[in-house]
A and B are shown apart, each in its own frame.
Chain A
Amino acid sequence: MKIFIDPPNSMILFDLVERFGHEPLSTMAVIQEKVDNIEVDMPPMNVTLDDVVKGLKYAGVEVPSGVRGRMALWGPMIEAADAAIIIDEPPFSFGCVGCDRSNELAKYLLKRRKIPCLTVKYPSNEEEAKTMVGQIKDFLGGLGE
């Protein structure tokens, strides 16, 4: 099954989803598409006209362009996902997680699709790590093939 991961570039989630036998949907795959096929220099910072149109499907024209740019990448992945795993309250100062509004909108779109969603937290000790990994394993195991 296709699992949307949030943060969409998280290595931990990507690895765990693959380990437990499912296909993670991540920003890296979308970026590869742009780098290889249309030779965009700095995706997701550089966007094409198509991206702007795609982004408008998820966020209105008055919404900051950063939100629309992110949604142009994440929106189609959310639509293709069969389930989602979200890490709650990630340190939002790094990576492509830098926009809290986009994160909120992505979570809203996931809820609106009514697909199975699991929310976990980055662990700070062994007990929390076991809870996180255990929850992800059980969640993915319960989804079936």
Chain B
Amino acid sequence: MSEARITRILMISPDSSVTSDQLVRKVHTIDDGLSVKETCYGCLIESDEKTMSKVMAVVRETYHNEVFSKVRGFPMGDPRRCRAQHGTRPGYSQLEAEWECLPLIQSALDDIDAGNTEYTVPEEKKPLSVRQMKEISEAFR
């Protein structure tokens, strides 16, 4: 990954009471030398690696499981992706689909933080044996 620039997406879980505006104001106060852009789902941040790790540490500490984040390949406001310049947005349907899942992930993380680490392991699906398949087929003959 390039060392010069790191762009990250911060996305607020739909269950959170934090607003994009609050998040942007908070991020702005963490350090200088970073650009922040408010979006409908949270914000975009761009800075060097050192500042970014500081910002992410503070964001995780302040908002715990309410704000999720991932790296973004394109720079902020890039004309190839920016809506203002009719850029294409191929990754956004994935983001939207995962955004709907975030309240579930948030509550699971909250549960784990509260010490409830037990969960039920789903049963592994096994392929039907030839004998069973034969029995089923013969039953419907």
- Do A and B share a complex? yes
B-contacting residues of A (Cβ < 8 Å)?
7, 9-12, 14-16, 18-19, 26-37, 41-43, 91, 93-97, 121-123, 125-135, 137
A-contacting residues of B (Cβ < 8 Å)?
1-2, 4-5, 7, 9, 11, 60, 68-75, 78, 80, 88, 90-91, 93-95, 97-98, 101-102, 104-105, 107-109, 111-112, 116-122
16 additional A-B pairs beyond A12-B101, A28-B73, A33-B2, beta carbons within 8 Å, are: A18-B69, A28-B72, A33-B1, A41-B80, A91-B97, A94-B94, A95-B90, A121-B122, A123-B104, A123-B108, A129-B104, A130-B107, A130-B111, A133-B105, A134-B119, A135-B121
Asked if residues A28 and B70 are in contact (CB atoms below 8 Å), the reply is: yes
- How far apart are A144's CB and chain B's nearest CB, in angstroms? 19
Q: What is the number of contacts between chain A and chain B, taking CB atoms within 8 Å?
A: 122
Cα distance A123–B120 in the bound complex, in angstroms: 13
Asked if residues A131 and B121 are in contact (CB atoms below 8 Å), the reply is: yes
Asked if residues A15 and B68 are in contact (CB atoms below 8 Å), the reply is: yes
Contact of B68 among A12, A127, A128 (CB under 8 A): A12
Contact of B2 among A27, A36, A93 (CB under 8 A): A36
Residues in A neighbouring B105, C-beta threshold 8 A: 12, 16, 123, 129, 132-133
Residue of B nearest to A133 (CB): B108
Contact of B71 among A7, A14, A16, A121 (CB under 8 A): A14
